[in-house]
Amino acid sequence: MIIRGRFIGDAPYLAVHLNSEKVRKYLYEHVGHLTTPGMVRFDLKTETWKVPVLCKTERGILVAGEFTLDNRGEFINRPTKQEMLRTIEKEISTLPFLVYGDIKDLEAKGVKPVSI
């Protein structure tokens, strides 16, 4: 139960669970099984729930977008599948990765080696 943005009893836990479950179901039905909701948080300034979308990729788990829900758990903003794909592609293109090989072979393939 929410009264003027305040919570009574177990309402915060229930709201977090319901919002997370709603986003999870939406992602599974409309985006794909490699996405999942992140940690739900409440924004006191806007009095909305923010739910990040996590996506499993070959380079690890990345944030793909963020859902916004009102106090009743209705979607205010939900990123499209195409928006999330663009975000992931951009993130992956900037991530460093580890490659084993000779310096000459790496340079020949256009990879700039960095020693740590």
Q: What is the DSSP letter of 63?
A: E
Look up the pTM and report it: 0.73
Nearest by Cα to 63 from 74, 75, 51, 49: 51
Alpha carbons 47 and 42: distance in angstroms, whole number: 7
Q: Write down the pLDDT at residue 1.
A: 37
- Alpha-helix residue ranges (DSSP H) falling in the chain: 11-30, 81-94, 103-108
Domain of residue 70 covers 2-108
Each residue of 82-108: pLDDT tens digit? 999 999 999 998 887 777 778 888 888
- The verdict on residue 116 lying in a domain is no
Asked if residue 69 belongs to a domain, the reply is yes
Q: What is the CATH number of the domain that holds 7?
A: 3.30.160
Highest mean pLDDT among 4-8, 9-13, 54-58, 96-100: 54-58
pLDDT in tens, 27-69: 999 998 899 999 999 888 998 999 999 999 988 899 999 999 9
- 27-33: which pairs have CB atoms within 8 A and are 24 or more residues apart? 27/53, 30/81, 31/81, 31/84, 32/81
Q: What is the pLDDT of residue 11?
A: 52
Residue at 61: amino acid letter: I
Count the domains in the chain. Answer: 1
Query: Above 70 in pLDDT, residue 15?
Result: yes
More confident residue, 112 or 57: 57
Residue 63 lies in a domain: yes
